[in-house]
Chain A
């Protein structure tokens, strides 16, 4: 019994690997796996909306590629890297997954990207911030879409300094993400000759940031920057409003805030806050068109992560069409060749390390009096070209970009 099943297993795996080598589509269909957080802290930033976005992209593409059906499978990784990695492996081995998208949370992103690299499956990260995805850990089939920690520091910082904000106080969440944002921001400030008056680290997560905000307020810095994320940022902005930091003439900068965060803070408390984003729904007719459709399906405007999932899925399908196969490495090479052009990213190109280089936007949160609706939250301050916003691939340390 045991021997027989062993033999059967060997025969089966031989057949499977034979099929994978053939031209065309493996399994006669393209399977896109959406691995996201459906129940935890990133459920608003990514979550269900990411699945909706991917499904929209598939529908907009026509539901078929090379005449074969496209299947979308989904899972909730619960923000646990080992669950995500296990599901990714299982999808690739037993369901024939050809691409994995979203991958919010840095530990999940890095873990799944490793699996994708090992198995030659395309991984597209739009949720995680860590720039490590396109640095040493890059793989031939890995992509990072809409933002990263490097770009967050390199969009906001120069623009605010150019605008006269030449003395800074940085409030940092005390973990790797916060440290890396703070370090990047300090480097930029140093290059520009701006002064860092002080910085303070708060435990992660924190419900009460008042002592840190008071330090920032009394430091007399022109700019108070928040190098934290999610609930910490929401708490910081709300409490900063209570202490009248913005009203007192200091500029408040959130190095990372998503549309969903600002929506939950509200304009009353959030007004005047500067944020960096890779996508905003109300930029032009194309973004409005996509976002309205998304809104009709989902009831919320897309965050940049969800919008990126749409863009990434479309680009991936285009690359399959152009390459004539869904073999991971071939498609990945094609993706890097083709320009990224859709309703979300109008003009982007993909560097050798998998970094999608596109325009980034510095936004200011509107005053309640300027807003015309629930989702009318930002006004554009500045468009920063991709070459300036993202790290030079040659300096990323990714072996593919040397």
Chain B
């Protein structure tokens, strides 16, 4: 349980803002996302959004149920392969391919979740890691679907609803943005629903939630499934946007990376993981051309963040604003 305690978030779940302020901030953020492709390179932004959604979905488990999954790469990668394969081989339209990725992720989440939630803390992390390693080795071997270490290449972006071509990267960006906002909205809805309240109750005090009559295991499995399905949507969208799925997506380092994103941004805050996701993808992308050793720099950033801002970037901002009021 030590793991869970140390990552318990600081602020209230829905942030420090209420009513109108929250609406204004939301509108401003969406407006910023709408004009972003005119400032930064759309290809990079698309990837950042996919990983932001991935981190938000992951945070549903870590931040709101308090369970650290170390195997989310399995859902992300499998869904990326599934969507890519569906779009390339079956010729599905991109929205259907992504939906299929989400379903595959969700189905896997249901099965893996049902096994893993029987344990907590480090055991939960280890079970998810072990199962995701099995998925990884399957991906290496199933070369006819995944292409092995060559990756699943040349995934077509296709036509949205069979009508709108996504070849243009601006159009593709707005499509990815729509997917992200839908996914994020869903997470927001989940967290702020009675169901979300039960999840937080489980996180804070599981025995008490049980004694109140909640069937805790079912809540956890459902949360795990939802998290996996949304992770799948993120993976599928990535496969369509970047036009490939590779072993990187399903490797255990990816599971670590999403934990890093979530911690950097702020566990248990809604926007935090998205910020963290965009930050890590940004670092990977822009450091790549800088001549600096990328992995080392990201490691240093992580260590500094853990030492200086325990609550993550957004978590610290929340606390700062709360104190001023």
Interface residues of A in 43-101 (CB under 8 A from B): 73-83, 85-87, 89-90, 93-94
Most buried by A among B34, B153, B169, B170: B153
A74-B291, A81-B248, A174-B140 as given contacts; A86 in contact with B149, CB under 8 Å: no
* Contact present for B41 and A90 (CB under 8 Å): yes
B143 within 8 A of A: yes
- 29 A-B residue pairs with Cβ-Cβ distance under 8 Å, sorted by A, are A1-B35, A38-B291, A38-B294, A75-B289, A76-B293, A76-B294, A78-B288, A78-B295, A79-B248, A81-B151, A81-B244, A81-B248, A82-B249, A85-B242, A86-B44, A86-B242, A90-B44, A94-B41, A107-B149, A107-B244, A107-B246, A111-B151, A111-B243, A137-B154, A175-B148, A176-B150, A177-B148, A203-B137, A204-B140
Cα(A204)–Cα(B140), bound, Å: 9
Given A81-B246, A82-B248, A111-B153, 15 other A-B residues pairs in contact with their CB atoms under 8 A = A2-B35, A38-B293, A39-B295, A76-B287, A76-B291, A77-B288, A78-B295, A87-B288, A87-B289, A90-B41, A106-B149, A110-B151, A111-B244, A132-B150, A137-B154
Across the interface, which residues of A come within 8 angstroms of B34, CB to CB?
2
Q: Are A89's CB and B153's CB within 8 A? A: no
Smallest beta-carbon distance A77→chain B, Å = 7
- Would you call A82 and B244 a contact (CB within 8 A)? yes
B291's nearest neighbour on chain A, judged by CB, is A74
| Min CB–CB distance A15 → chain B (angstroms) | 16
**Docked-complex contact A39 and B141, CB < 8 angstroms:** no
Say yes or no: is B38 at the interface (Cβ < 8 Å to chain A). yes
Task: Flag whether B238 is at the interface (Cβ < 8 A).
Answer: yes
User: What sequence of 0s and 1s flags, for each residue 131-148 of chain B, a beta carbon within 8 Å of any chain A beta carbon?
Assistant: 000000100110100011
Q: A110 touching B153 by the CB < 8 A rule?
A: yes
Chain B residues numbered 136-182 whose CB sits less than 8 Å from any CB in chain A: 137, 140-141, 143, 147-151, 153-154, 169-170
- Contact (Cβ within 8 A) A107 B151: yes
Known: A39-B295, A89-B43, A107-B247. A74 touches B289 (CB 8 A): yes
* Contacts A74-B289, A114-B154 given; does A82 touch B47 at CB 8 Å: yes
Contacts of B294 in A (CB 8 A): 38-39, 76, 78
Interface positions of B from 112 to 147, Cβ below 8 Å from A: 137, 140-141, 143, 147
Q: How far is it, in angstroms, between the C-alpha of A77 and the C-alpha of B151 when the chains are bound?
A: 15
CA–CA, A204 and B288, complex, Å: 27
B151 close to A86 (CB less than 8 A): no
Say whether A179 contacts B35, CB under 8 Å. no
The verdict on A176 contacting B242 (CB below 8 Å), with A75-B289, A78-B295 known, is no
Contact B243 A85 (CB under 8 A): yes
Interface size class of B (residues with CB under 8 A): 35 or more
How many angstroms between the C-alpha atoms of A396 and B169 in the bound complex?
A: 33
Closest 8 CB pairs between A and B?
Answer: A176-B148, A107-B151, A81-B246, A75-B289, A82-B242, A75-B288, A107-B246, A110-B153
Residue of A nearest to B34 (CB): A2
> Do A86 and B47 form a contact, CB below 8 Å, given A76-B288, A78-B288, A177-B149?
yes
**Bound-complex Cα distance A73 to B295 (A):** 20
Q: Given the complex of chains A and B, what is the CA–CA distance between A90 and B44 in angstroms?
A: 8
Query: Is A82 touching B150 in the complex (CB atoms < 8 A)?
Result: no
Q: Is residue B285 within 8 Å, beta carbon to beta carbon, of the partner chain?
A: yes
Contacts of A79 in B (CB 8 A): 248
How far, in angstroms, from A94 to B147 measured CA to CA in the complex?
Answer: 31
Q: Which of B38, B141, B169 contacts A174 (CB 8 A)?
A: B141
CB-CB under 8 A from B44, the residues of chain A are 86, 90
Contacts of B291 in A (CB 8 A): 38, 74, 76
The answer to whether B289 and A73 have CB atoms under 8 Å apart is yes
Interface centre among B34, B147, B288 (most CB of A within 10 A): B288
Partner of A83, one of B137, B153, B154, B284: B284
Task: Decide: A175 near B43, CB < 8 A? Known: A87-B288, A114-B243.
Answer: no
Neighbouring B residues of A39 by C-beta, 8 Å: 293-296
Q: Which of B44, B151, B284, B287 has the most CB of A within 10 A?
A: B151
Residues of B within 8 A of A175 (CB): 140-141, 148-149
Contact indicator A87/B285 (Cβ below 8 Å): yes
Chain B proximity mask over A286-318: 1 for CB below 8 Å, otherwise 0? 000000000000000000000000000000000
How far does the alpha carbon of A1 sit from the alpha carbon of B35 in the complex, in Å? Answer: 9
Q: Which of B143, B244, B285, B293 contacts A176 (CB 8 A)?
A: B143
Bound-complex Cα distance A94 to B41 (A): 8
Nearest A residue to B287, CB-CB:
A76
Interface residues of B in 212-263 (CB under 8 A from A): 238, 242-244, 246-249
> Min CB distance, A67 to chain B, in Å?
27
CA distance A94 to B169 in the complex (A): 13
Interface-centre pick from A106, A107, A177 (highest chain B CB count, 10 A):
A107
Cα of A82 to Cα of B38 in the assembled complex, Å: 22
Which residue on chain A has the smallest CB distance to residue B150? A106
Chain A contacts with B in 159-191, Cβ cutoff 8 A: 174-177, 179
Give bound CA distance, A75 to B288, whole Å.
Answer: 5
Pair A82/B246 contact, Cβ less than 8 Å? yes
Bound complex: CA A86 to CA B243 (Å): 10
Given contacts A82-B246, A83-B288, contact A137 B143 (CB under 8 A): no
